[in-house]
Amino acid sequence: MRRTVRGLVGLVGFLAVGEVVGRSGIAPPGYLPPSSLVLTRLVELLATRSFVLDLIATVLAWAIALGIAIAVAVPAGLLLGTVPALRHCARSVIEFLRPIPSVALIPLAIMVFGIGPDTKIFLAVYAAVWPILFNTIYAMDEVDPQLVDTARSFGLGRWPVLTRVSLPSAAPFVATGIRLSASVALVVVVSVEFLAGGSGGLGRFVLESSSGSGRMDLVFAGIAVAGIVGYLVNAGLEWAQRKAFVWSAATGEAS
Protein backbone atom coordinates (compact mmCIF):
# COMPACT_ATOMS: atom_id res chain seq x y z
CA MET A 1 0.00 0.00 0.00
CA ARG A 2 2.73 2.39 1.04
CA ARG A 3 4.70 1.46 -2.05
CA THR A 4 1.73 2.16 -4.29
CA VAL A 5 1.32 5.57 -2.68
CA ARG A 6 4.99 6.39 -3.18
CA GLY A 7 4.82 5.23 -6.78
CA LEU A 8 1.87 7.56 -7.37
CA VAL A 9 3.71 10.43 -5.70
CA GLY A 10 6.61 9.89 -8.10
CA LEU A 11 4.29 9.86 -11.09
CA VAL A 12 2.46 12.99 -10.02
CA GLY A 13 5.80 14.73 -9.42
CA PHE A 14 6.99 13.75 -12.89
CA LEU A 15 3.81 15.11 -14.48
CA ALA A 16 4.11 18.32 -12.46
CA VAL A 17 7.67 18.88 -13.69
CA GLY A 18 6.47 18.24 -17.25
CA GLU A 19 3.70 20.76 -16.77
CA VAL A 20 6.02 23.46 -15.39
CA VAL A 21 8.70 22.94 -18.03
CA GLY A 22 6.09 22.88 -20.79
CA ARG A 23 4.64 26.21 -19.68
CA SER A 24 7.93 27.92 -18.80
CA GLY A 25 8.92 28.66 -22.37
CA ILE A 26 12.38 27.10 -22.09
CA ALA A 27 11.79 25.25 -25.34
CA PRO A 28 10.36 26.88 -28.47
CA PRO A 29 6.53 26.79 -28.47
CA GLY A 30 5.12 23.41 -29.46
CA TYR A 31 8.30 21.41 -28.80
CA LEU A 32 7.57 20.44 -25.22
CA PRO A 33 3.80 20.44 -24.65
CA PRO A 34 2.77 20.55 -20.95
CA SER A 35 1.61 17.33 -19.31
CA SER A 36 -2.01 18.40 -19.11
CA LEU A 37 -2.17 18.88 -22.88
CA VAL A 38 -0.52 15.51 -23.55
CA LEU A 39 -2.97 13.79 -21.21
CA THR A 40 -5.92 15.45 -22.89
CA ARG A 41 -4.68 14.32 -26.32
CA LEU A 42 -4.14 10.83 -24.95
CA VAL A 43 -7.75 10.57 -23.83
CA GLU A 44 -8.96 11.95 -27.17
CA LEU A 45 -6.78 9.51 -29.08
CA LEU A 46 -8.11 6.51 -27.19
CA ALA A 47 -11.54 7.47 -28.51
CA THR A 48 -10.26 7.74 -32.08
CA ARG A 49 -10.87 4.70 -34.25
CA SER A 50 -7.72 4.92 -36.37
CA PHE A 51 -5.49 5.30 -33.32
CA VAL A 52 -7.08 2.34 -31.56
CA LEU A 53 -6.45 0.27 -34.69
CA ASP A 54 -2.80 1.33 -34.56
CA LEU A 55 -2.63 0.33 -30.92
CA ILE A 56 -4.17 -3.05 -31.67
CA ALA A 57 -1.73 -3.59 -34.56
CA THR A 58 1.20 -2.99 -32.23
CA VAL A 59 -0.06 -5.14 -29.38
CA LEU A 60 -0.99 -7.96 -31.74
CA ALA A 61 2.41 -7.95 -33.43
CA TRP A 62 4.04 -7.92 -30.00
CA ALA A 63 1.98 -10.87 -28.73
CA ILE A 64 2.66 -12.95 -31.82
CA ALA A 65 6.37 -12.17 -31.68
CA LEU A 66 6.62 -13.07 -28.01
CA GLY A 67 4.74 -16.32 -28.58
CA ILE A 68 7.06 -17.32 -31.41
CA ALA A 69 10.12 -16.35 -29.38
CA ILE A 70 8.97 -18.55 -26.49
CA ALA A 71 8.22 -21.45 -28.80
CA VAL A 72 11.69 -21.19 -30.33
CA ALA A 73 13.87 -20.25 -27.38
CA VAL A 74 12.55 -22.49 -24.60
CA PRO A 75 13.05 -25.81 -26.42
CA ALA A 76 16.38 -24.60 -27.80
CA GLY A 77 17.48 -23.55 -24.33
CA LEU A 78 16.45 -26.89 -22.85
CA LEU A 79 18.40 -28.71 -25.50
CA LEU A 80 21.51 -26.56 -25.19
CA GLY A 81 21.24 -26.60 -21.41
CA THR A 82 21.13 -30.38 -21.15
CA VAL A 83 23.69 -31.28 -23.85
CA PRO A 84 26.96 -29.49 -23.05
CA ALA A 85 28.65 -30.58 -26.30
CA LEU A 86 25.90 -28.95 -28.32
CA ARG A 87 26.12 -25.82 -26.19
CA HIS A 88 29.83 -25.50 -26.84
CA CYS A 89 29.30 -25.89 -30.58
CA ALA A 90 26.54 -23.29 -30.62
CA ARG A 91 28.27 -20.77 -28.41
CA SER A 92 30.31 -18.97 -31.07
CA VAL A 93 27.35 -18.63 -33.40
CA ILE A 94 25.13 -17.36 -30.60
CA GLU A 95 27.71 -14.87 -29.42
CA PHE A 96 28.01 -13.58 -32.97
CA LEU A 97 24.27 -13.23 -33.58
CA ARG A 98 23.24 -11.88 -30.21
CA PRO A 99 24.90 -8.43 -30.26
CA ILE A 100 23.48 -7.56 -33.70
CA PRO A 101 20.84 -4.86 -33.11
CA SER A 102 17.56 -5.96 -34.67
CA VAL A 103 17.03 -2.59 -36.31
CA ALA A 104 20.22 -3.19 -38.29
CA LEU A 105 18.43 -6.13 -39.84
CA ILE A 106 15.53 -3.98 -41.13
CA PRO A 107 16.80 -3.89 -44.74
CA LEU A 108 17.27 -7.65 -44.75
CA ALA A 109 13.86 -8.24 -43.22
CA ILE A 110 12.14 -5.92 -45.70
CA MET A 111 13.78 -7.76 -48.59
CA VAL A 112 12.59 -11.09 -47.26
CA PHE A 113 9.20 -10.22 -45.76
CA GLY A 114 8.22 -6.97 -47.50
CA ILE A 115 6.84 -4.08 -45.49
CA GLY A 116 3.92 -5.92 -43.92
CA PRO A 117 3.63 -6.87 -40.25
CA ASP A 118 5.86 -9.92 -40.86
CA THR A 119 8.91 -7.68 -40.82
CA LYS A 120 8.33 -6.23 -37.39
CA ILE A 121 7.31 -9.59 -35.99
CA PHE A 122 10.44 -11.23 -37.35
CA LEU A 123 12.69 -8.53 -35.91
CA ALA A 124 10.95 -8.60 -32.54
CA VAL A 125 11.34 -12.38 -32.41
CA TYR A 126 15.00 -11.98 -33.23
CA ALA A 127 15.51 -9.60 -30.32
CA ALA A 128 13.28 -11.47 -27.87
CA VAL A 129 14.81 -14.89 -28.36
CA TRP A 130 18.06 -14.13 -26.52
CA PRO A 131 16.94 -13.36 -22.96
CA ILE A 132 14.69 -16.43 -22.95
CA LEU A 133 17.37 -18.63 -24.48
CA PHE A 134 20.06 -17.55 -22.06
CA ASN A 135 17.88 -17.76 -18.98
CA THR A 136 16.74 -21.23 -19.98
CA ILE A 137 20.29 -22.45 -20.55
CA TYR A 138 21.45 -21.06 -17.21
CA ALA A 139 18.39 -22.43 -15.47
CA MET A 140 19.21 -25.92 -16.65
CA ASP A 141 22.71 -25.42 -15.33
CA GLU A 142 21.35 -24.32 -11.98
CA VAL A 143 19.16 -27.35 -11.38
CA ASP A 144 20.29 -28.70 -8.05
CA PRO A 145 22.23 -31.92 -8.68
CA GLN A 146 20.89 -33.37 -5.47
CA LEU A 147 17.30 -32.96 -6.65
CA VAL A 148 18.31 -34.87 -9.76
CA ASP A 149 20.07 -37.54 -7.68
CA THR A 150 17.00 -37.88 -5.50
CA ALA A 151 14.80 -38.46 -8.53
CA ARG A 152 17.30 -40.85 -10.10
CA SER A 153 17.59 -42.84 -6.89
CA PHE A 154 13.86 -43.49 -7.14
CA GLY A 155 14.47 -45.04 -10.52
CA LEU A 156 13.50 -42.14 -12.78
CA GLY A 157 15.16 -42.15 -16.20
CA ARG A 158 16.48 -39.24 -18.23
CA TRP A 159 13.18 -38.08 -19.67
CA PRO A 160 11.14 -38.20 -16.43
CA VAL A 161 13.96 -36.41 -14.63
CA LEU A 162 13.83 -33.70 -17.29
CA THR A 163 10.07 -33.23 -17.18
CA ARG A 164 9.45 -33.79 -13.47
CA VAL A 165 12.54 -32.20 -11.93
CA SER A 166 14.57 -30.04 -14.31
CA LEU A 167 11.64 -28.30 -15.99
CA PRO A 168 9.79 -27.24 -12.85
CA SER A 169 12.95 -26.11 -11.12
CA ALA A 170 13.99 -24.11 -14.19
CA ALA A 171 10.56 -22.57 -14.69
CA PRO A 172 11.04 -19.41 -12.56
CA PHE A 173 14.23 -18.51 -14.45
CA VAL A 174 12.54 -19.10 -17.77
CA ALA A 175 9.65 -16.89 -16.68
CA THR A 176 12.08 -14.10 -15.86
CA GLY A 177 13.57 -14.48 -19.33
CA ILE A 178 10.12 -14.21 -20.85
CA ARG A 179 9.40 -11.06 -18.89
CA LEU A 180 12.61 -9.42 -20.07
CA SER A 181 11.89 -10.48 -23.62
CA ALA A 182 8.38 -9.07 -23.47
CA SER A 183 9.75 -5.57 -22.91
CA VAL A 184 12.42 -5.98 -25.56
CA ALA A 185 9.88 -7.21 -28.11
CA LEU A 186 7.61 -4.21 -27.51
CA VAL A 187 10.50 -1.78 -27.97
CA VAL A 188 11.51 -3.45 -31.22
CA VAL A 189 7.98 -3.57 -32.63
CA VAL A 190 7.46 0.16 -32.02
CA SER A 191 10.95 1.02 -33.32
CA VAL A 192 10.50 -0.91 -36.53
CA GLU A 193 7.10 0.69 -37.09
CA PHE A 194 8.76 4.06 -36.65
CA LEU A 195 11.77 3.34 -38.85
CA ALA A 196 10.21 1.20 -41.56
CA GLY A 197 6.69 2.64 -41.54
CA GLY A 198 4.46 0.42 -43.61
CA SER A 199 2.14 -1.65 -41.53
CA GLY A 200 0.57 0.78 -39.07
CA GLY A 201 1.00 0.70 -35.31
CA LEU A 202 2.03 3.12 -32.58
CA GLY A 203 5.45 3.72 -34.14
CA ARG A 204 4.02 4.83 -37.42
CA PHE A 205 1.51 7.07 -35.67
CA VAL A 206 4.37 8.83 -33.88
CA LEU A 207 6.31 9.11 -37.15
CA GLU A 208 3.38 10.66 -38.99
CA SER A 209 2.51 13.04 -36.19
CA SER A 210 6.03 14.41 -36.06
CA SER A 211 7.19 14.48 -39.68
CA GLY A 212 4.00 15.62 -41.37
CA SER A 213 2.45 18.13 -39.03
CA GLY A 214 5.00 18.54 -36.24
CA ARG A 215 2.31 17.83 -33.67
CA MET A 216 4.49 17.17 -30.63
CA ASP A 217 1.44 16.89 -28.37
CA LEU A 218 0.31 13.88 -30.42
CA VAL A 219 3.85 12.48 -30.50
CA PHE A 220 4.06 12.60 -26.72
CA ALA A 221 0.59 11.12 -26.33
CA GLY A 222 1.60 8.23 -28.61
CA ILE A 223 4.81 7.72 -26.65
CA ALA A 224 2.83 7.76 -23.40
CA VAL A 225 0.53 5.04 -24.72
CA ALA A 226 3.54 2.90 -25.67
CA GLY A 227 4.94 3.43 -22.18
CA ILE A 228 1.65 2.48 -20.54
CA VAL A 229 1.40 -0.70 -22.61
CA GLY A 230 4.96 -1.63 -21.64
CA TYR A 231 4.23 -0.98 -17.98
CA LEU A 232 1.07 -3.09 -18.03
CA VAL A 233 2.82 -5.95 -19.80
CA ASN A 234 5.66 -6.03 -17.29
CA ALA A 235 3.43 -5.63 -14.25
CA GLY A 236 1.07 -8.33 -15.49
CA LEU A 237 3.84 -10.83 -16.10
CA GLU A 238 5.46 -10.01 -12.78
CA TRP A 239 2.18 -10.63 -11.01
CA ALA A 240 1.65 -13.93 -12.83
CA GLN A 241 5.18 -14.99 -11.99
CA ARG A 242 4.69 -14.26 -8.32
CA LYS A 243 1.45 -16.22 -8.30
CA ALA A 244 2.88 -19.21 -10.13
CA PHE A 245 6.21 -19.50 -8.35
CA VAL A 246 5.43 -18.81 -4.71
CA TRP A 247 7.84 -21.57 -3.77
CA SER A 248 10.70 -19.96 -5.61
CA ALA A 249 10.20 -16.56 -4.01
CA ALA A 250 9.85 -18.20 -0.62
CA THR A 251 13.03 -20.24 -0.88
CA GLY A 252 14.94 -17.27 -2.21
CA GLU A 253 13.83 -14.70 0.32
CA ALA A 254 14.49 -16.79 3.39
CA SER A 255 18.25 -16.37 3.20
Partner 1 sequence: MPTMLEVTGLGHRYRSKDGEHIALDGLSFDVNAGELVCIVGPSGCGKSTLLRSISGLIRPTSGQVRLHGDVVDGVPSDLAVVFQDYSRSLFPWLSVQRNVEFPLKKSLDKAERRERARQALEQVGLAGAAGKYPWQLSGGMQQRVAIARALAYRPALLLMDEPFASVDAQTRFDLEDLLLRVRREYDTTILLVTHDIDESVYLGDRVVVLSKSPARVVRTLDVDLPAQRDQITTRESEAFVALRSEVARLLHGQPAGDAPTGNGRPSAGRAPAKGKTGTASSAGSTAASSAGSSSGSSEKAASAKAQPSRNGQAANRNRGKGNGAKSRRRGRARR
Residue 239 · residue 174 · CB < 8 Å = no
Sign of CA dihedral 229, 200, 190, 212: negative
Residue 38 · residue 224 · CB < 8 Å = yes
Of the pair 25, 157, the CB lying nearest partner 1 is at 157
Residue 186 · residue 230 · CB < 8 Å = yes
Sign of CA dihedral 188, 194, 198, 201: positive
From the CB of 52, what's the least distance to partner 1, in Å?
34
Of the pair 43, 246, the CB lying nearest partner 1 is at 246
* Phi (first) and psi of residue 241, to 5 degrees: -65, -45
Q: Which of 97, 73, 78, 253 is nearest to 177 (CA)?
A: 73
From the CB of 98, what's the least distance to partner 1, in Å?
10
Of the pair 169, 199, the CB lying nearest partner 1 is at 169
Of the pair 44, 142, the CB lying nearest partner 1 is at 142
Binding site for partner 1 (CB under 8 A): 130-131, 134-135, 138, 142, 144, 146-147, 149-156, 164-165, 168-169, 171-173, 176, 180, 245-248, 250-252, 254-255
From the CB of 41, what's the least distance to partner 1, in Å?
35
From the CB of 101, what's the least distance to partner 1, in Å?
15
